[in-house]
Amino acid sequence: MRKAGKAVAEVAEKVTNEGDSILVLAGKGKNGGDAIYAAEYIRQRKVTLVKITDAQASIKDIDEFSGECIIDGLFGIGLNRPMEGGWKRLAEAINKKTSLNPNLEVVAVDTPSGLDGDSGEALGGLAVKATVTVTFGAIKKGMLSESAKAWVGSIFAAEEVGLLPYPFK
């Protein structure tokens, strides 16, 4: 997780400037852990880390954020169903924020939350719209699909994070 977090931090630093504000959203799983480590590694930026236990309550953090970058560490490739309830509204709030501020960078941890890494489809038609995705090991085959283009943004493969290469099926 430390290596993955460091890779995310490096990309977040590349897409922002010194003094910029970054909102790090950490879900309950391993992607959340990667996001927490990313928050520790980011330098010369104002970092706000939100460890999400109540997704609905965390929407206000997004609504009140006026910075330059959001790190999406909500869900990873283990998500196998559409986001529901507060999680769905949280993803919608991120996407609304980016639609209102086209200069806002959204860095996805491994895969945009809600995206199926194998098919490239947004589960239930909703995923976080990333401007850049930092994926681990190798690019997931679904990220290269036409349907994923709306969600992944630029793709950075962090190969040296201690994972075996991802085999395409």
Domains and CATH numbers, the chain: 2-158 (3.40.50.10260)
Ordered per-residue pLDDT tens for the chain, 169 residues:
788 999 999 999 999 999 999 999 999 999 999 999 999 999 999 999 999 999 999 999 999 999 999 999 999 999 999 999 999 999 999 999 999 999 999 999 999 999 999 999 999 999 999 999 999 988 899 999 999 999 999 999 987 765 555 555 4
DSSP string spanning the chain? -HHHHHHHHHHHHHTS-TT-EEEEEE-SSHHHHHHHHHHHH--SSEEEEEE-S-HHHHHHHHHH--SSEEEEES--TT--S---HHHHHHHHHHHHHHHH-TT-EEEEESS-TTB-TTT-PBGGG-----SEEEEESS--GGGGSGGGHHHH-EEEEE--SS-PPPPP-
